[in-house]
Amino acid sequence: MSNLGKTLKIALGLAVIAALIIVPMNFNRYGLFILSQWAVMTIAAMGLNLTLGYAGQVSLAQGAFVGIGAYAAAIMTTHGWPLPAALVVAIVLSFAIGWVLGYPALRVQHHYLAFVTLAFSTLAFLVFRNESWLTGGIYGISNIPRPNILGFATNRPLPFYYVCLGSLAIVSLAVWWLIRSPWGRAFMALRENPLRAQSLGVDTRRYTLMAFAIGSALGGVAGALYAPLTQYIDPVPFNLSLSLDLLMMVIVGGAGFFLGPFLGAMIAVLLPEWLRFTEGYYLMIYAVAVMVLLIWSPTGILGILDRYMAERRTKAASALRAVAKSRLETAQ
Amino acid sequence: MSTLFDLLVAGLATGAIYALVAVGFTLLWQTSQTINFAQGEFVMLPAFLMLAAMHVGAPFWLAIIIGILLSMILLGLAFKMLLVDPMLRHGVLPLAIATMALAIGIKEAVKQFFSAEASPFPSIVPTGDIRILGHAVALQSVGVLVVAILAVVGLTMLLTRTSLGHQMQAAAQNPTVARIIGVPVERMILLTFLINAFLVALASMLITPIYLAKFSSGEVLGQAAFIAAIVGGFNQVRGAIAGGLLIGVLDNLAAAYVSTQYRAAVPMIFLIVVILFRPQGLLGRAEERTV
């Protein structure tokens, strides 16, 4: 039975991946842009899900790291560097800054931590806006080139969508591996009970900093893809509301679930687009939908599924128990 | 030195408004662990309610009363019953996210049903200057300060001098014991939500003549109120007041002496320093409640 479930899951996963590859082939420019944006935001949300969902550290700065990655990529590629080099710089830079941002988490927790990261987010925005010698200030950076991957130009929307999708696949595999490694288990130990984790010999200090650094590095990856996707960046998309949006994606999808960010980003990026036919009302409906969902299931979409599965499992278990009991009785 | 004096007065006036908003913010936190990310939008909305009331022909004083009553119903009662109550037992974070969504909803609703443009808003204080200690001071600043101080003093009296206030404090500090000694905790919590709604409506009436009524004006204000609340002490009403005044003055001084580009950075850096070295806030006590 569980074997069948596993096969079904794998088949479903393969079908979704195939659909993501094949269906957009005849999408128009805008549809491909939105879908690419979904892939990019999913990467950023996966980073935040590591920090928040697995390691339990609240961060309101993920948008700032997307900004850092985006500016690193934009500045380097407009100066003639290839995107992979810029990607490495974006990762190293966000990792290092994320590491430093983790230090407050060693002292304060929960809402205090949220506010420190919120302040960092605003500071980063001010730097993007004001240091115009580096970032172009409010005029931003335009004509960001798209890369050549293995000799293929990705200037057109469809090839670049595959770049985003491929990156998402690589990041997903890496995160999948990470949360099953001892590190991932240490992160979860940190979330569930820091004191016990420490007494069991988990270096909570190092893992807290790591949770921030790795999560932020994924934000940087997303940013490095975002810049060539839009081909023009200015400070506005990287203000606090992006951080809040990403946090919303993680919670709405289901914090601490591997697939949570995929669904959360889908709701945050695609749902407003699907609601466009309601014209001026679409963001209002979106806001109401998020609130209703959270009232219904505070653990997000996957929380609903999780509860349903748990219920079914207990039902199945009690059914088995009943059968075993009746057998015992007949044997007597 | 006259400029420094002017800056201080202007800073205290905006700071007094921040204080009102921050006090409401801490009240909600104390009684029901609600981090209200929509607090800035809560300040933005009542001005539009008042404008709408004037639009259908109500005189200014009546519009203010209608605006305050409507905000108490919408931002106090409905907010608590529809959003906070069902989510409270699921922890701080989902509720905080839901208030973020609420902020988006309120902003969009105002943009859609009123206007995306900034609208002027009449002031309760006449324009003009009065002379204090040889300096010309805008009547508006004085009016704002007076109203804000009256509100804060009134609230403090309510909390410390009346039986109702004592019951509210008991409900905030230890709900279980409060319930045992017969405090109607639920009603007290509802009362803090109504007080918060009243305070934000008041702040709305005071600040909108200065900054105009605009759907997006809540973002800056909400952030300033957060910072004020944390800097002063998240679990203290007087901490929030001090924090509000401090942030208001700091913000104005930073604009004059640091740089206009980085003025917003000064309160942020101050916030980070305070959280790292005195996380309970300047006037707050270390958190006694177990989480």
The model's confidence at residue B286, banded by pLDDT at 50, 70 and 90, is: low
Mean pLDDT: which of A100-114, B62-76, B152-166, B254-268 is highest?
Answer: B62-76
A248 neighbourhood in chain B, CB within 8 Å = 97, 100-101
Q: Is the pLDDT of residue B39 over 90?
A: yes
- pLDDT value, residue B289: 41
Neighbours of B269 (CB within 10 A): 13
Report the gap between the CA of B117 and the closest CA in chain A (Å). Answer: 15
CA A193 to each of CA A12, A90, A107, A147, A275: distance values in angstroms, whole numbers, following the listed order: 35, 32, 16, 44, 41
Of all residues in chain A, the one with the smallest CA distance to B98 is A291
Q: For B189-219, what is each residue's pLDDT tens digit?
A: 999 999 999 999 999 999 998 888 888 888 8
- What ipTM, to 2 d.p.? 0.84
Determine whether the interchain pair A116/B87 forms a contact, defined as Cβ–Cβ distance below 8 Å.
Answer: no
Determine whether the interchain pair B230/A294 forms a contact, defined as Cβ–Cβ distance below 8 Å.
Answer: no
Report which of A110, A63, A111 is spatially closest to residue B229, judged by C-alpha positions. Answer: A111
Q: Which residues of B touch A (CB under 8 A)?
A: 35, 37, 83, 86-87, 90-98, 100-102, 104-105, 108-109, 111-112, 219, 223, 226-227, 230, 234, 261-262, 264-265, 268-269, 271-272, 275-276, 279, 291
Determine whether the interchain pair A108/B223 forms a contact, defined as Cβ–Cβ distance below 8 Å.
Answer: no
- pLDDT value, residue B80: 93
Instruction: Give per-residue burial for B76-87: e unless 16+ CB within 10 Å, then b.
Output: beebbeebbebb
Q: What distance in Å separates the CA atoms of residue B209 and residue B213, rounded to the nearest whole number?
A: 8
Q: Is the pLDDT of residue B291 over 50?
A: no
- pLDDT value, residue B2: 55
Q: Residue A278: which residues within 8 A CB-CB, separation 6 or more?
A: A285
8 A C-beta contact, residue B242 and residue B26: no
Each residue's pLDDT expressed in tens, for chain A with a length of 332 residues: 567 778 888 899 899 998 999 888 888 889 999 999 999 999 999 999 999 989 888 889 999 999 999 999 999 999 989 999 999 999 999 999 999 988 887 877 777 788 888 889 989 999 999 988 988 888 999 889 888 877 777 888 899 999 999 999 999 999 999 999 988 888 888 888 888 888 888 888 888 889 899 999 999 999 999 999 999 999 999 988 899 899 999 999 999 899 999 999 998 898 888 888 877 788 888 899 889 999 988 888 888 888 888 888 888 888 888 888 888 777 76
Determine whether the interchain pair B276/A108 forms a contact, defined as Cβ–Cβ distance below 8 Å.
Answer: yes
B92 neighbourhood in chain A, CB within 8 Å = 110-111
Q: Which residues of A touch B (CB under 8 A)?
A: 58, 104, 107-108, 110-112, 114-116, 118-120, 122-123, 126, 129-130, 240, 244, 247-248, 251-252, 255, 280-281, 283-284, 286-288, 290-291, 294-295, 298-299
- pLDDT value, residue A201: 84
Q: For A93-110, what is each residue's pLDDT tens digit?
A: 999 999 998 888 787 777
Q: What distance in Å separates the CA atoms of residue B258 and residue B261, rounded to the nearest whole number?
A: 9
**Which element (helix H / strand E) includes B131?**
strand B129-132
How high does pLDDT run on average in chain B?
86
Determine whether the interchain pair A115/B291 forms a contact, defined as Cβ–Cβ distance below 8 Å.
Answer: no
Query: What is the bridge-based pairing of β-strands B135-138 and A152-153?
Result: unpaired
A53 neighbourhood in chain B, CB within 8 Å = none
The model's confidence at residue B118, banded by pLDDT at 50, 70 and 90, is: confident
Determine whether the interchain pair A298/B279 forms a contact, defined as Cβ–Cβ distance below 8 Å.
Answer: no
Residue A275 DSSP class: G
- pLDDT value, residue A332: 67
Better pLDDT: B142 or A96: A96
Mean pLDDT confidence for B272-289: 72
Determine whether the interchain pair B112/A122 forms a contact, defined as Cβ–Cβ distance below 8 Å.
Answer: no
**Hey, which residues does A105 pair with through a beta bridge?**
none
Report the gap between the CA of B5 and the closest CA in chain A (Å). Answer: 28
8 A C-beta contact, residue B88 and residue B33: yes
Q: Is the pLDDT of residue B287 over 60?
A: no
A236 neighbourhood in chain B, CB within 8 Å = none
- pLDDT value, residue B285: 65
Q: What distance in Å separates the CA atoms of residue B144 and residue B142, rounded to the nearest whole number?
A: 5
- pLDDT value, residue B290: 33
